[in-house]
Chain A
Amino acid sequence: MKSHSIVLMGAIAIAGAVAMPACYGSPSTNAPSPASGRTAWGDPDLQGVWRYEGAIPLERPAQLEGRATLTAEEVAARERVEKEQAAKRLEGLEGAAVGRRSIAESPIRGNEYNSFWQDHGRPRQVSNRTSLVVDPADGQIPFTTDAQKAEARSAARYGVGPFESYLDPDTGERCLTDGVTGMMWQGPNGGHNRIVQSPGYVTILHEEYRDRRIIPIVSSDINSGELAARQHGAIRQWFGDSIGRWEGDALVVDTVNFLDRTNYEWANIWTRPSESLHLVERFTRVDATTIEYTVTVEDPTTFTRPWTAVIPITKLPDDIQIYEYACHEGNYAMPNLLRGGRTEAARTSSR
């Protein structure tokens, strides 16, 4: 495994936000609490702007093999590093000057050339967990051999190309999407999401690419046959066809009928949809400012077995907004990339 896909997370920060507890509990010890309010029509209220602010890598780093948790000393050391780096970002420093000297040390792939995208200033929350992936137990995404090759290829081309046509940049660079799998918590900007509830619907607005999921809520006693019938599969979409239901206070969202977009370039292969992708997401409000978000990813096209990640997501203060993300409308990078590709091709052929 390459190291730089291991650490995938939105960094970062919004000035003036509230301080958060330093450590997230391990998922197995989180007891659902009735802290959340209710909507006027009686559903658990998940509304607000949410973001992943943790520093837990998606996959367990090789040097922590066999360890699901860090020691208290290791957690304290990481907290110091996060605070130092946040302070440097607040001073306006970027990339290596923040303290990460290579792409491999970046929280997201391509941090160095893309670091101007990031919000700055708020330290990420350190946890004793060593990976967001909790199943398989080794904390690794169970890629198929083909998907491993695709992931290696994707890593090799990131920020480098070739960029011979508009089909060569990845889906994010094309202003399409980075996919549903990481939408609730991933993204250079930290994966800001606004949840709005109305009777019969939970809608999630993801700031990046203005991704939007309007999730119809069905009766909690619907059986799997009825679910399948509703998701009849005639209309495949990038974000699939989601059905939500309440299991107690937890929102469970079942999504199938994704488009096959494995033929496009993806910044991270694990977020790409195929027709066999099946996502089950669970949103559990564990306290006033935390949702424990669990996503189980099943797709034999990309993975040898289903895998599950548990991700603590933080509620931001009420004055934090989602802003317009006009990516395609201002995608000057696309013509510039293609112009660069042609210039390079001309230089190569004239040699």
Chain B
Amino acid sequence: MRPLFWIVVIVASAIAGATVWSQVPQSSAAEPYAAPRTADGRPDLNGIWQAINTANFDIQAHAARPAMAIVPASPRTDTPGLVRATHVDLPAPSVRPLGAVGGVPAGAGVVEGNEIPYQPWALVKRKENADNWVERDPEIKCFMPGVPRATYMPYPFQILQGTNKILMAYEFAGATRTIHMDTVGDSPASTWMGWSRGRWEGDTLVVDVTDFNEETWFDRAGNFHSEALHVVERYTPVSPHHLMYEVTIEDPKVFTRPWKMRMPLYRRFDADAQIREYKCVEFVEQLMYGHLGVVDPATGTINK
């Protein structure tokens, strides 16, 4: 009985798993998944969601590497005849103490076709950004992450569907977006998280996001945009446990054409899953301001 029981369980699990898996990439399959409905008849996207990928390191396909900040090994010139023939990447001194924790896992990327159609000048700036990652990445300073980066950072976010507004509550930096499902005026100013207008297309929540500033990045690899950024996001339920997230990026000042990203988002099932505080401002004050005061709180030294 007992071995048979386990065989049944295992086979059943495999079938169940295969069923769920087969639904994930097939958002346009012959029999699309029908999302449950809220009390007012809308597709129910309420829940805590998280991306599981390496897009926050680099949205494009990338090999594993020792760190986000890299310096070349010094050429070995002290011994005549033994100049190193090949380039070797080492973690930059600023991140070296982190060891393997500071490493970058490989990833297939989330960009459709893997090409980001930068204008030539912008490709140069992207490399400069990557070369100066520690100084430039807004994530390091706990600045609001922008859209779509907030979606695929390694933190959960919660979708809270109100009557005329849908909130996207991100854990990182406590950023929240209000998705206006009703008619609203224009944004009075440019913003970090954009001005979001939403609508339903079948089961898909489509969010049109405008009025960005030029301060946010797409990842830690220096991918960037201008204030002309226009983002269209599509959140499609593809199983009880997954949303397919598709996003179109348009920025005529930086790119030669619109381009797309695509990834599944996973429902968090943890017991007592909730969005916690991650008020990282107080975590970065020493980095940003420690050297500026009369006294450095970390060392007690008097700054001259």
Contact = CB atoms under 8 A, between A and B. Distances in A.
Interface of B: 38-40, 46, 142-144, 158, 160-165, 167, 169, 174-176, 178, 182, 184-185, 187-189, 191-193, 215, 274-277, 279, 281-282, 285-286, 288-290, 292-297, 303
Given A238-B279, A239-B277, A324-B193, A47 B162 contact: yes
Across chains A and B, which 5 residue pairs bring their CB atoms closest together, nearest first? A165-B293, A196-B162, A40-B39, A40-B40, A166-B289
Contacts of B144: 324, 326, 329
A328 B281 CA distance: 7
Contacts of B161: 198
B163 A342 contact: no
A201 interface: yes
B203 to A, nearest CB: 18
Given A168-B293, A342-B292, A342-B294, 20 more contacts: A40-B38, A40-B39, A40-B40, A166-B286, A166-B289, A166-B297, A174-B282, A174-B285, A197-B162, A198-B46, A199-B46, A214-B160, A238-B277, A318-B182, A321-B184, A324-B193, A329-B144, A334-B288, A334-B289, A335-B289
A201 B175 contact: no
Contacts of B289: 165-166, 334-335, 338
A212 to B, nearest CB: 5
Contact of B276 (A168, A216, A235, A335): A235
Interface in A156-210: 163-168, 174-177, 194, 196-199, 201, 203, 205, 210
A45 interface: yes
21 contacts: A39-B163, A40-B39, A47-B163, A166-B292, A167-B297, A176-B282, A194-B165, A196-B178, A199-B38, A211-B174, A212-B169, A214-B275, A238-B277, A238-B279, A318-B182, A319-B185, A322-B178, A324-B144, A324-B193, A341-B293, A342-B294
Interface residues of A, number: 49
Contact of A198 (B162, B185, B275, B295): B162
Contacts of A164: 293-295
Nearest to A205: B176
B169 A328 contact: no
Contacts, number: 131
A17 to B, nearest CB: 15
Contacts of A239: 277
A328 B284 CA distance: 10
A203 B160 contact: yes
A165 B297 contact: yes
Given A198-B46, A324-B192, A210 B293 contact: no
A1 interface: no
Contacts of B164: 47
A203 B295 contact: no
Contact of A166 (B38, B165, B293): B293
B167 A203 contact: yes
A203 B166 CA distance: 11
Nearest to B42: A40
Nearest to A201: B160
Contacts of B294: 164-165, 338, 341-342, 345
Nearest to B292: A338
A304 B169 CA distance: 37
